[in-house]
């Protein structure tokens, strides 16, 4: 009976560990569109992957104050859902005027244009759907921009593929990429060209100087999502934006894309006060555990002579790895064995 009771308690402990790990995955991933924590087709984890492959670390900002402390010389604002305050815009403008590069990608929402206006750029997002019935991917709504100006951010880029994007009113900004002469803005959203709509090339990527820095405007945030970053030359364009960077900042402060656990960790990272508090709590907790013999109690519970009483390390490792396909099952098994101090 005692042995059965031990097995039951160990099974419960193993199950609880799996639940905690799975819950942690749920709290640290997102299904929101454009989220760098979303590895699905509409997430922008691909942006982080491209930056990482280029040798850059990616930092995610949950507040605009991060612009004041970051050492990243390039920052991305992708599909902001809410408008920036005047104070936040001043912070971002200071980042740019002091030499930073800001990439703003938006389409039909107002917040991106509000930010551009506050930064003093000439480029504005039109807000109407750009269609091209001659040059497209899958449908005219997925316009292929066929005209690309040769500059550093468009090196080795001959086309870009949009996904329900709009156009840019460039003003005096430099146009880096534009649609073909067969494209048009679908003003009444009826999916066809009408008498009041005209064919013509439209800007989809612009670049202009603000102070000592640069603002790059992209007329479709979907260019950065996982499903589109692999379209011809889209990846190369993103690589050019992060080339030679040691760190890249992704501004998620006006998106609902950061999962709870990640948001908490970022809040701790961005606040020296919270970092200190968490550190003190961790040291205090470890001290209490050592004082009351907690670690030795755990080791005693899992070092039974009967191998049937041990926590099923292999099964537990497989369960954890199954919930996290990117983790290697052998690595997970070794970590678990180190934690519980068992040798199978």
Instruction: Return the closest-CA partner of residue 92 out of 67, 73, 122.
Output: 67
Is the dihedral angle over the CA atoms 55, 60, 64, 65 positive or is it negative?
negative
Does residue 69 sit in the same domain as residue 133? Answer: yes
How many of the other CB atoms lie within 10 Å of CB of 205?
Answer: 30
179 is a domain residue = yes
Query: Tokens at residue 155, please?
Result: 């090196």
Q: How confident is the model at residue 262, as a pLDDT?
A: 43
User: Is residue 258 a contact partner of residue 266, using CB atoms and an 8 Å limit?
Assistant: yes
pLDDT the model gives residue 176? 98
Q: Which has the closest alpha carbon to 122: 32, 215, 200, 57?
A: 215
Residues 219 and 280 in one domain: no
Whole-number pLDDT of residue 145: 98
Q: Is 145 in the same domain as 283? A: no
In the chain, which stretches have pLDDT less than 70?
1-45, 257-329, 331-344
- Regarding whether 275 and 252 lie in a shared domain, the answer is no
Residue 39 covered by a domain: no
> Is the domain of 137 the same as that of 82?
yes
State whether 93 and 189 are in the same domain.
yes
Is 305 part of any domain? yes
- What 3-state DSSP class applies to 39? coil
* Partners of 213 in beta bridges: 210
Q: What is the pLDDT of residue 193?
A: 95
Picking from 256, 277, 296, the residue at the C-terminal end of a domain is 256
- Check which CATH number belongs to the domain holding 54 and give it: 3.40.50
Question: Do 285 and 247 share a domain, yes or no?
Answer: no
Predicted pLDDT of residue 274: 42
Q: What is the domain range of residue 335?
A: 2-28+266-340
pTM of the model: 0.69
DSSP H helices, the chain, are 2-28, 45-53, 66-69, 86-97, 110-119, 234-242, 260-270, 272-291, 294-302, 313-323, 329-340
For residue 332, count CB atoms less than 10 angstroms from its CB and return exposed for 0-12, middle for 13-18, buried for 19 or more: buried
DSSP per residue, 301-342: HH--SSGGGS--HHHHHHHHHHH-TTS-HHHHHHHHHHHHT-
Count of domains in the chain? 2
Cβ neighbours for 83, distance < 8 A, ≥ 6 positions apart? 110, 111, 114, 115, 254
Same domain assignment for residues 154 and 290: no
Within a domain: residue 34? no
pLDDT tens, residue by residue, 209-245: 999 999 999 999 999 988 888 898 999 999 999 998 9
Establish if 248 belongs to a structural domain: yes
Q: What is the pLDDT of residue 317?
A: 64
Based on the domain organization, do 104 and 239 belong to the same domain?
yes
């Amino acid at each position: 009976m005692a042995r059965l009771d031990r097995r039951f308690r160990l099974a419960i402990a193993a199950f609880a560990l799996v639940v905690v790990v799975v819950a942690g995955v749920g709290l640290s991933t997102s299904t929101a569109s454009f989220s760098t924590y979303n590895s699905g087709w509409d997430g922008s984890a691909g942006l982080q992957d491209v930056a990482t492959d280029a040798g850059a670390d990616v930092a995610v900002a949950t507040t605009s104050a991060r612009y004041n402390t970051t050492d990243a010389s390039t920052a991305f604002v992708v599909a902001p859902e809410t408008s920036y305050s005047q104070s936040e815009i001043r912070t971002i403008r200071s980042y740019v005027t002091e030499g930073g590069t800001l990439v703003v990608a938006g389409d039909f929402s107002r917040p991106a244009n509000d930010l551009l206006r506050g930064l003093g750029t000439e480029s504005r997002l039109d807000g109407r759907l750009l269609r091209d019935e001659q040059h497209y991917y899958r449908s005219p709504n997925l316009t292929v921009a066929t005209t690309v100006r040769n500059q550093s951010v468009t090196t080795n880029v001959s086309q870009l593929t949009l996904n329900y994007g709009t156009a840019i009113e460039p003003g005096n900004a430099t146009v880096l990429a534009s649609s073909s002469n067969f494209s048009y803005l679908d003003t009444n959203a009826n999916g066809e060209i009408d008498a009041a709509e005209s064919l013509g090339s439209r800007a989809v990527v612009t670049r202009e100087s603000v102070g000592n820095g640069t603002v790059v405007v992209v007329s479709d945030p979907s260019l950065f999502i996982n499903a589109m970053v692999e379209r011809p030359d889209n990846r190369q364009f993103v690589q050019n934006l992060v080339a030679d960077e040691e760190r890249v900042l992704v501004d998620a402060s006006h998106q609902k894309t950061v999962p709870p656990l990640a948001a908490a960790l970022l809040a701790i990272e961005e606040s020296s006060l919270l970092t200190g508090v968490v550190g003190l709590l961790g040291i205090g907790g470890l001290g209490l555990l050592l004082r009351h013999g907690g670690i030795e109690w755990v080791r005693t519970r899992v070092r039974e002579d009967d191998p049937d009483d041990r926590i099923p390390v292999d099964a537990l490792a497989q369960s954890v790895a199954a919930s996290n396909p990117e983790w290697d099952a052998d690595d997970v098994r070794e970590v678990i064995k180190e934690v519980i101090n068992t040798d199978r």
